[in-house]
Structure 1
Amino acid sequence: MSVTPELAFQQTIPRRLVHRAAVAEVFLTDAVVIGMDHFLVGAQWPRDHALYHPDSQGRSDPLLFAETIRQALVYLAHWHYHVPLGFRFVGRDMDLEITDPGALRVGSEPLPVTLKARWTRVGNDSPRRQGMKLEVVLTVMGAVCGRGSLTLFAVDEKYYRRLRRRTGQDDRPTGDPVARRQRVPAATVGRLRYKDSVLVQGDTAGEWLLRADLDHAILFDHPTDHLPLMVLLEGFRQLGHLLVHDAEVPQSERSPSSLVLLTTECLAWAELDEPTRLLVRADSGAREGSGARRLCIEAVQGDAVVMASEMVWAPDGRGVSEQAAGLLCPLGS
């Protein structure tokens, strides 16, 4: 009879193994092998966080789940699959689903969460390029409450520079193309601090601009030469919150909704020094019966779609239902 190894939650793993500069931004605590390409990964989510704070109903931020998936894939790549630390990781697509939002309610202690993970190789590996996908099931205190996946490829520095067609180390722009425009108030996008807002009103209806502070200690934990996946996800989430929680409706009459499904596809590099427009391509409105709202949003630079996303927001802490989870539009359309 086999015995499943127990996960430890006493301390975080080394920050370099999840590509984080700040120890405070490391959520993983342990990982154990339970079979060929199968793992259990442990993490501890904070009761509060400067950016990923609980919502108005006291539930953990869904993007904590997204960041935990990202950290889990990077950690397993280095720890178990021996991908060199100097490799660059480039995202391809990500999805997550919260099936039981109530299980994410923050209590009197930090939440110990477990990912049951399966690793798959993607494409043909070479010494300089490796493709990988991690699929996970999220459990909190033994209760299954979500699922997700992340696909990316890792390349060595020379390969990365050829892909980027750039020279130098971590080039950063000298100016912000939308610096003169004020970000929308933090409260309208579900954030607490002005500097955490990343949205600026666009020039036309249904258009917004992504304006993230390059010195933000969490969104830009370390220097980078492009907009990271988690920054773009934050822009999508904030725009979803803004659209779902109509500021013109009195707060006492609003029905709080939470993000329960997020699907994204990375289609091109998102440059730091190019204006990034967020375009609402489809909005279902609240569905009668389920009350769920589905949004399709694209991040566009110039004429190129750099990322496409679908989101489902559900009221009253409900999880994804079959009625709410169907795709409203094809990604990248």
Structure 2
Amino acid sequence: MGATPWSTTAAPTASAVPKELVHLSFDAYVLVTGYTQVDDSTFTLTAKWPPGTGRAVPGLGTRYESLVVAQTIRQVGLVLAHAAFGAPSNHATLLRTFDFALDTTSQPTGSKPDDLFIVVSCKTNNHRTNRRLTGLRLDMDIRSGGRSIGTGATDFEWIAPAVYRRLRGDHAQAVHEQPPLPTPVPAVRVGRAADSEVVLAATTEPHRWQLRNDFSNKILYDHAVDHVPGLVLIEAAHQAARLVTSPGAFLPHSVTTTFDRYVEFDSPCWIEAEVDTKGPTTTVVTVTGHQNGRPVFRTELTGRPHHAI
């Protein structure tokens, strides 16, 4: 499978959360370990980040990996949707927004798992009650060692199978065959260790890439799906941001993403990035995706250049 953003060689930690609840095939990738309901709209969850959840940043040591933060937020949403709010296991998820912020000074503990305590405020949504679509807005405070190290927020719905099939049309079936893989950009340029982790391929135009979907990367493609997962698009935004800023010099502390439509496997998805330097201490990278001439997602990453940290 190649290298991954967090360790897969250590034995998985014990979890009371079954992998099926968070739509995963491998126990080792389940990060959420339990949840407790505080009141009608508030929950607390526990999670563990296994050793190896960081990446080396020149001059700053090891910092938490954004992908494991995003995976944690994803799993929190699924646990609460299914276990606390009764979303049926056979319903599909429609992701609308996905935001998180991270304390870029925080460092992984090293050889031991990091224990997390996550406080979640929930608001139920019924975007289209005539079609029985039900959803949640979640706002999260992620804490480790008694202090807040990040926040998360997401807005999503779950959709009955029949409705989902009508919505997806010819694209409703999971794709098992590997799509064509264009040549990846060098892994080291996007902070990754193997080609299987690279989700961008170079084009002849500056600040523009083709999305690549390598099914051998089980962090991003745990199981067969009918569309490109949202975490793949968020990862593409992070990799694009690294490519348009000085290598290793940009640490985003805030990431906001809006999804416009599903991204399919049967036509190219083009990723573009723009950099806006807002003074000596703040850089904003805006990454957009387009497929078949239509926008599919937009991510804004805000951070500080290396020299400003």
Normalising by the residue count of structure 2, what TM-score does the alignment of the two structures yield?
Answer: 0.88
**Letter of the 1:75 counterpart:** V
Assess, with a 3 A threshold, how the Cα gap between structure 1 residues 139 and 213 changes in structure 2: closer, same or farther.
Answer: same
1:277 aligns with 2:280: no
**Letter of the 1:268 counterpart:** R
1:308 aligns with 2:298: yes
> Which shifted more, 268-277 or 208-217?
208-217
Q: Deviations over 1:141-179 (max 9, x none)?
A: 110121120111101111110110137641456742xx3
Q: Distance in 2 between matches of 1:312 and 1:257?
A: 9
1:198 aligns with 2:190: no
Q: Distance in 2 between matches of 1:154 and 1:110?
A: 32
Q: 1:88 aligns with which of 66, 89, 92?
A: 92
Q: Which residue of 1 aligns with 2:260?
A: 267
Q: Distance in 2 between matches of 1:317 and 1:135?
A: 32
SS at match of 2:148: strand
Assess, with a 3 A threshold, how the Cα gap between structure 1 residues 60 and 118 changes in structure 2: closer, same or farther.
Answer: same
- Checking the alignment, whether the CA contact within 8 Å between 1:208 and 1:278 is kept in structure 2 is yes
Q: Which residue of 2 aligns with 1:329?
A: none
List gaps (5 residues or longer) in structure 2.
1-12
Q: Which residue of 2 aligns with 1:183?
A: 184
Assess, with a 3 A threshold, how the Cα gap between structure 1 residues 239 and 184 changes in structure 2: closer, same or farther.
Answer: same
Q: Distance in 2 between matches of 1:309 and 1:226?
A: 18
Aligned residues, how many? 293
Tell me the C-alpha RMSD between the 2 structures.
2.2
Assess, with a 3 A threshold, how the Cα gap between structure 1 residues 222 and 311 changes in structure 2: closer, same or farther.
Answer: same
Deviation, 1:115, is: 1.3
Deviation, 1:243, is: 1.8
Q: 1:257 aligns with which of 250, 255, 258?
A: 250
Q: Deviations over 1:58-90 (max 9, x none)?
A: 122122111111100110111111111111112
Deviation, 1:14, is: 0.2
Taking only the aligned residue pairs, the percentage that are identical comes to 25
Normalising by the residue count of structure 1, what TM-score does the alignment of the two structures yield?
Answer: 0.82
Q: Distance in 2 between matches of 1:63 and 1:129?
A: 28
Q: Which residue of 2 aligns with 1:140?
A: 144
**Letter of the 2:275 counterpart:** D
Assess, with a 3 A threshold, how the Cα gap between structure 1 residues 85 and 317 changes in structure 2: closer, same or farther.
Answer: farther
Deviation, 1:34, is: 1.2
Q: Which residue of 2 aligns with 1:113?
A: 116
Deviation, 1:231, is: 0.7
SS at match of 2:217: coil
Once the two structures are superposed, the pairs formed by residues 67-86 of structure 1 within 5 Å of their partners are 67-86=71-90
List gaps (5 residues or longer) in structure 1.
1-8, 247-254, 320-333
* Structure with greater proportional strand content: 2
1:44 aligns with 2:36: no
SS at match of 1:119: strand
**Letter of the 2:245 counterpart:** V
Q: Distance in 2 between matches of 1:174 and 1:69?
A: 27
- Checking the alignment, whether the CA contact within 8 Å between 1:12 and 1:26 is kept in structure 2 is no
Once the two structures are superposed, the pairs formed by residues 204-283 of structure 1 within 5 Å of their partners are 204-246=205-247, 256-280=249-273, 282-283=274-275
Assess, with a 3 A threshold, how the Cα gap between structure 1 residues 42 and 156 changes in structure 2: closer, same or farther.
Answer: same
